[in-house]
Amino acid sequence: MSKRAHPSEHVSSQADNSSAPSSNKKVRRETDPEAASTLTQDDVALYDRQIRLWGMEAQTRMRNSSILVGGLTGLTNEVCKNLVLAGIGALTVADGAKVSVDDLGAQFFIAESDIGKNRAEASMERILNLNPRVKVAALAKDVGSMPEDFFAGFDFVVLSGADLATMIRIDNICRKHGIKFYAGVMAGFHGLFFCDLMLHSFVKEIKSGISKGDTPKISKVQRESHYVALEDALTKKWGPLSRKQTKNIAIPLFLAFIIVLKYQQQHGHLPTRKQDAEALPAFKNTYLESQSLEASVIKDDQLWTISAMLGRDLAPVCAIVGGILAQEIIKTMAQNDEPLNNFFVLDAMLSVGAVLPVSPPLPDANGSSSSKAVAMEIL
């Protein structure tokens, strides 16, 4: 396939200069009034339907947003597709891995002829073909190896397939520079993503005067939501669980993901080796004990399922989780509604997803703390 020339295409220059964009150069940010651009008549015509849905201001904010996607997976393929079609301003995809046969199952921006090529570079042209108005660039490097100043030019960072240490490091960098952060992992029929928006302002519509035969009055109220860093969220103590919480599938599934990711962080590999057969259950029991939880909260077969399937993408499941993740990013850009806070987990086998607000213990008036899960049917 021939390579399309595009004014924003700077693959080789990005690959050669790992610190781009330069920290001594004024970077374009969504909130910078000097850098903001308005929509052209062609833009308005192209995005007419969605402008009617979320408004001109929201579309303009999207048009002035720059997004970094680290790790090309089935999950981020869905995210890239939805964001580019929605009309963001610029997208940089970064991945240091080469296309393999396994990637062909859930990634639709690559083809069999791309096997052996860099994932980001192989995906770039097909992403650009979705919407030539979006500036698309590819970086043939793992974002986990990039220095801090590399991230400063982006408004949003989305990670997929990263280990826990990389997620925490980049989230902390994003918080330092005021960048919205998202990270997701897939494990076959299960998925998880996290968002850190720090302090996020949005407009909420309030209906009043609702009674039979009356036309409801709609007023718009400015609201704020607080989000915690990933590192802090993982310090939450879960036990002991209430009877209602023990019946909620979201908490055991969430904890199974976290245990496997923490095991990988401590041992330097996923628990897929022979010697892990005894080590993982012991690691689980130690972790659950530290949380004042019974070992029976997470069944060993559920833990092994997440362990064996982590990083393995199923296209239909990626479409669900990636669609919800992209929707949340768009919602954050539009500032027209409250984004979820702060974890989302999906069990496609049971056709249920859940929003799980997770934060460190914050005492209430009675000196206790809690976290609730809001379940919703997905399929």
Same domain flag for 141 and 277: no
Q: Is 130 within the bounds of a domain?
A: yes
Handedness of CA 53, 57, 60, 66 (dihedral sign): negative
Same domain flag for 135 and 268: no
Q: Is 351 within the bounds of a domain?
A: no
The pLDDT, as a whole number, for residue 366 is: 41
Q: 376, exposed or middle or buried, with CB in 10 Å at 0-12, 13-18, 19+?
A: exposed
Same domain flag for 175 and 287: no
Expressed as residue numbers, the domain containing 87 is: 11-199+316-334
Same domain flag for 91 and 195: yes
Same domain flag for 152 and 180: yes
Same domain flag for 193 and 283: no
Q: Is 163 within the bounds of a domain?
A: yes
Token output for 226: 């607080």
Identify the CA nearest to 321 among candidates 131, 151, 193: 193
Q: Is 181 within the bounds of a domain?
A: yes
CA end-to-end span of the chain, whole Å? 37
The pLDDT, as a whole number, for residue 334 is: 92
CATH number at residue 177: 3.40.50.720
Same domain flag for 325 and 269: no
Same domain flag for 322 and 248: no
Predicted confidence pLDDT, tens digits, the chain (379 residues): 333 333 333 343 333 333 333 333 333 444 444 445 688 888 888 888 899 888 899 899 999 999 999 999 999 999 999 999 999 999 999 999 999 999 999 999 999 999 999 999 999 999 999 999 999 999 999 999 999 999 999 999 999 999 999 999 999 999 999 999 999 999 999 999 999 999 999 988 887 766 666 777 778 889 999 999 999 999 998 888 888 887 888 999 999 999 999 999 999 999 988 889 889 999 999 999 999 999 989 999 999 999 999 999 999 999 999 999 999 999 999 998 899 999 999 999 999 999 999 987 554 444 333 444 444 444 3
Same domain flag for 178 and 284: no
Q: Is 90 within the bounds of a domain?
A: yes
Token output for 63: 């048009």
Same domain flag for 293 and 279: yes
Q: Report d(CA 248, CA 268) in Å as an integer.
A: 31
Q: Is 350 within the bounds of a domain?
A: no
The pLDDT, as a whole number, for residue 178 is: 97
Q: Is 214 within the bounds of a domain?
A: no
Residues 6+ apart with CB under 8 A from 269: none
**pTM, two decimal places:** 0.84
Same domain flag for 79 and 169: yes
Q: Count the neighbouring beta carbons within 10 Å of the beta carbon of residue 228.
A: 20
Q: 342, exposed or middle or buried, with CB in 10 Å at 0-12, 13-18, 19+?
A: buried
- The residues that bridge with 360 in the sheet, in sequence order, are none
CB contact at 8 A, 281 and 153:
no
Same domain flag for 267 and 307: yes
Q: Is 227 within the bounds of a domain?
A: no
Q: How many domains does the chain have?
A: 2
CB contact at 8 A, 140 and 120:
yes
